[in-house]
Chain A
């Protein structure tokens, strides 16, 4: 059973567009929701993260929106740039003694 469902699998936007990547989860015990960014040939790197007591978090051009009642969270990239082209993973974690569970990833391509 997939605990964190991510969509879409791939996304193409033009420079300046606002790509949105969505994730849904079932386990209401999850209490930490990060997003990771991965460039080709590199390991994933933490981009931004949120706790369920907050509905939105912004860091630069990246925003997480969190809907606790719907058990969904999403990543928005404002004014997207070709350098944002990468694979993005959402993830979730519950309690301190476990590891992150990742979604299947979204490959984003931003055309110039």
Chain B
């Protein structure tokens, strides 16, 4: 099983629908992130959470909300999907407790390809 699992892998939804993307991890990491990838725009941060009670907005949080249901689960919701939210969405995790200089390494899931029509 993958360390960071995203469901669904692919989803087509209609404009105005509410949709939830889910992320679960078995890494035991405390920090989780949602990024959006668009061609030519790279990875842009939507939301991040450093523990169950901590939620922070990223660069492009408008139109999105998140829920950290447990240390291992972090879901992203689009309350009313619109076509320009069509993108590849990635969940990532990291561990604040790892010692050393490079403890900021992220583990990414395989992504959810979302199409809003």
Contacts and interface: CB of A to CB of B under 8 A. Distances in A.
Interface of A: 6, 9, 32, 34, 36, 41-46, 49, 51, 89, 93, 96-97, 99-105
Contacts of A104: 40-42
Nearest to B41: A104
Contacts of A34: 102, 104-105
A102 B96 contact: no
Contacts of B44: 102
B45 A43 contact: no
Contacts, number: 57
Contacts of A32: 104
B50 to A, nearest CB: 7
A6 B42 contact: yes
Instruction: List the 7 closest A-B pairs by CB distance, nearest first.
Output: A43-B108, A104-B42, A102-B43, A46-B105, A99-B48, A105-B42, A102-B42
Given A42-B110, A43-B110, A96-B96, A89 B105 contact: no
A44 B108 contact: yes
16 contacts: A6-B42, A32-B104, A34-B102, A34-B104, A36-B106, A41-B110, A43-B111, A44-B90, A45-B108, A46-B105, A97-B50, A100-B45, A101-B59, A102-B35, A102-B42, A102-B43
Nearest to A3: B59
Q: Which of B44, B90, B108 has the most CB of A within 10 A?
A: B108
A49 B102 CA distance: 7
Interface string B44-60: 11001010000010110
A46 B42 contact: no
B66 interface: no
Nearest to A47: B105
